[in-house]
């Protein structure tokens, strides 16, 4: 089987390789509850210096599971909803969810979509849109009648604050009754990336200018029209320390919650 050269992916797009590696490695472990056979297959077909991304972490596969669960919850009550995956990269969420009847819009830049097409199975329900998430043209492809759930997994932190909040506001205005699920980083981690966070001597993480705490997200109910409710989504249990109930309780404490990365679900009014 032909192997794919990964050098076409650069900058923020290259982070899709980093997260793919972490999901594939975790999925191969016999002691892991994370299953992603397609990620393993895709990982094996890509020519890449995987070691430059440093030591594999559970953070990305657990984040993927958290997003999966949030999307499933919406689809459970909106059987004909459209899923919009902004900046989808090399995610395999559509196949993990197993809902082949759901219309799925994959929005990303042209180089990423070319790699996706060469690696992932064709699905009639998946519509690929070559666009930045910030170009609102993708909104015209959404049929909101059955509901809309929008994901921005590993995306908004790479935008400026004004860009990210304007995108959320436009989605709230355009898709009432929908959900918007995104993850964000705390200020201390933002500053590390702006200083040049190295995963190895061969890879520096792209700058992440947008930090957003849960407290800031929860305040959107009062300051942004169209936001009906805000939920903090805690990562599911993983292995080792990631499974500790004590650490999970600590992560929910108000004094800690704003210092950790977070996953937020916005429910549009």
Which residues, 6 or more positions from 204, have their beta carbon under 8 angstroms from its beta carbon?
Answer: 196, 197, 198
Angle at the Cα of 12 from the Cα atoms of 184 and 74, rounded to 5 degrees? 45
Per-residue pLDDT at 250 exceeds 90: no
Question: Is the CB of residue 116 less than 8 Å from the CB of residue 129?
Answer: no
Which residues, 6 or more positions from 98, have their beta carbon under 8 angstroms from its beta carbon?
Answer: none
Q: In the 8-state DSSP scheme, what is residue 219?
A: T
Per-residue pLDDT at 102 exceeds 90: yes
Q: Phi first, then psi: what are they for 101, rounded to 5°? A: -85, -10
| Residue 265: strand pairing partners | 181, 231
Place of tokens 């793919």: 20
CATH 3.40.50.300 assigned to domain 65-268? The reply is no
The helix/strand/coil state of 183 is strand
Per-residue pLDDT tens over the stretch 209-242: 999 999 999 999 999 999 999 999 999 999 998 8
Per-residue pLDDT tens over the stretch 33-89: 899 999 999 999 999 999 999 999 999 999 999 999 999 999 999 999 999 999 999
pTM for the predicted model, two decimal places: 0.96
What is the DSSP code string of 22-77?
HHHHHHH-TT-----HHHHHHHHTEE--GGGG-S--SHHHHHHHHHHHHHHHHHHH
CA gap 258, 214 in Å, rounded: 6
Per-residue pLDDT at 7 exceeds 70: yes
Strands 148-152 and 179-184, bridge-based pairing: parallel
Per-residue pLDDT tens over the stretch 120-175: 999 999 999 999 999 999 999 999 999 999 999 999 999 999 999 999 999 999 99
Structure tokens at 212: 């957003």
Average pLDDT of the segment spanning 171-185 = 98
CA gap 150, 156 in Å, rounded: 12
Q: What is the pLDDT of residue 219?
A: 97
As separate numbers, helices (DSSP H) first and strands (DSSP E) second, the chain gives 11, 11
CA gap 240, 79 in Å, rounded: 36
CA gap 92, 84 in Å, rounded: 13
Range with the lowest mean pLDDT among 29-33, 71-75, 247-251? Answer: 247-251
What Å distances lie between residue 136 and 142, 169, 251, CA to CA? 11, 12, 35
Per-residue pLDDT at 2 exceeds 80: no
Q: What is the pLDDT of residue 246?
A: 87
> Residue ranges of the domains in the chain?
65-268
Q: At what angle do helices 11-28 and 110-119 cross, to 10 degrees?
A: 30
């Amino acid at each position: 089987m032909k192997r794919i050269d990964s050098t076409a992916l650069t900058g923020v797009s290259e982070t899709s390789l980093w997260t793919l590696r972490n999901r594939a490695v975790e999925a191969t472990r016999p002691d892991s509850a994370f299953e992603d056979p397609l990620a393993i297959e895709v990982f094996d077909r890509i020519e890449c210096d995987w070691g430059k991304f440093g030591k594999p972490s559970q953070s990305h596969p657990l984040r993927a599971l958290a997003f999966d669960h949030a999307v499933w919850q919406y689809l459970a009550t909106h059987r004909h909803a459209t899923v919009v995956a902004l900046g989808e990269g090399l995610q395999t969420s559509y196949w993990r969810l197993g809902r082949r009847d759901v219309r799925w819009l994959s929005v990303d830049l042209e180089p990423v979509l070319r790699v996706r097409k060469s690696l992932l199975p064709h699905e009639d329900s998946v519509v690929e849109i070559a666009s930045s998430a910030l170009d609102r043209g993708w909104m015209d492809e959404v049929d909101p009648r059955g509901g809309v759930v929008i994901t921005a997994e590993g995306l908004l932190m790479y935008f400026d604050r004004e860009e990210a909040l304007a995108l959320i506001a436009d989605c709230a205005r355009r898709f009432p009754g929908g959900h918007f699920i995104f993850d964000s980083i705390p200020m201390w981690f933002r500053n590390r990336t702006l200083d040049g966070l190295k995963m190895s001597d061969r890879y520096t993480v792209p700058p992440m200018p947008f930090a957003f705490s849960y407290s800031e997200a929860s305040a959107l109910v009062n300051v942004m029209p169209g936001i009906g409710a805000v939920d903090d989504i805690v990562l599911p249990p993983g292995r080792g320390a990631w499974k500790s109930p004590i650490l999970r309780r600590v992560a929910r404490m108000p004094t800690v919650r704003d210092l950790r990365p977070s996953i937020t679900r916005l429910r549009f009014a």
